[in-house]
Amino acid sequence: MCAKSFRKDQRPWSSVVVDGIERAPSRSMLRAVGFTDADFKKPQIGIASTWSMVTPCNMHIDQLAKESEQGVAVAGGKAVVFNTISISDGISMGTEGMKYSLVSREIIADSIETVVACEGFDGVVAFGGCDKNMPGCLIALARLNRPAVFVYGGSIKPGCYCGKDVDIVSVFEAVGQHAKGEISLRQLSEIERSAIPGEGSCGGMYTANTMASAIEAMGMSLPNSSARLAASKDKREESHAAGRAVMQLVERGIKPSDILTRQAFLNAIAVVMALGGSTNAVLHLLAMANAAKVRLSLNDFTAVGKKVPVLADLKPSGKYVMADLTAIGGVAPLMARLLKEGLIDGDCMTVTGKTLKQNLAHVKPYPRKQDIIRPFSRPVKKEGHLVVLKGNLAPEGAVAKISGKEGLRFEGKAIVFNSEEQALKKILDGTVKKGHVVVIRYEGPQGGPGMREMLAPTSAIMGRGLGQDVALITDGRFSGGSHGFVIGHITPEAYVGGPLAIVKNGDSIAIDCKKRSVELQLSKVEIKRRFTQWKAPRQSNKTGALAKYAKLVGPASGGAVTG
- Catalogue the active-site residues: 479
Round to whole Å and give the CA distance between 465 and 484.
Answer: 11
Tell me the β-bridge partners of 125: 47, 149
Q: Kindly report the CA angle at 236 between 259 and 219, in degrees rounded to 5? A: 10
Q: Is there a binding annotation on residue 528?
A: no
Single out the residue of 394, 382, 407 nearest to residue 517, CA to CA. Answer: 394
- Does 202 belong to an annotated binding site? no
To which H or E segment does residue 44 belong?
strand 44-49
Are the C-beta atoms of 505 and 423 separated by less than 8 Å?
Answer: no
Contacts of residue 519, defined as CB under 8 A and 6 or more positions apart, other chains included, come to: 391, 392, 393, 509, 510, 511, 512
- Short-list 47, 140, 147, CA closest to 352: 147
Flag whether 345 is marked binding. no
Q: Which distant-in-sequence residues (6+ apart) come within 8 Å of 433 by Cβ?
A: 466, 470
Cα–Cα distance, 305 to 384 (Å, whole number):
4
Alpha-carbon span 118 to 105, nearest angstrom: 20
132 is in an annotated binding site: yes
Query: Residue 131 annotated as binding?
Result: yes
3-state secondary structure 421-463: HHHHHHHHCCCCCCCEEEEECCCCCCCCCCCCECHHHHHHHHH
DSSP annotation string for 116-181: HHHHT-SEEEEEE-STTHHHHHHHHHHHH-SSEEEEE--BPPPEEETTEEE-HHHHHHHHHHHHHT
Q: Quick one: which of 212, 260, 218 has its CA closest to 238?
A: 212
φ and ψ at 502, to 5 degrees? -110, 10
Helix axis angle, 420-428 to 455-463, nearest 10°: 10
Binding-site sequence positions for [2Fe-2S] cluster: 57
Binding-site sequence positions: 57, 89, 131-132, 453
Binding-site sequence positions for Mg(2+): 89, 131-132, 453
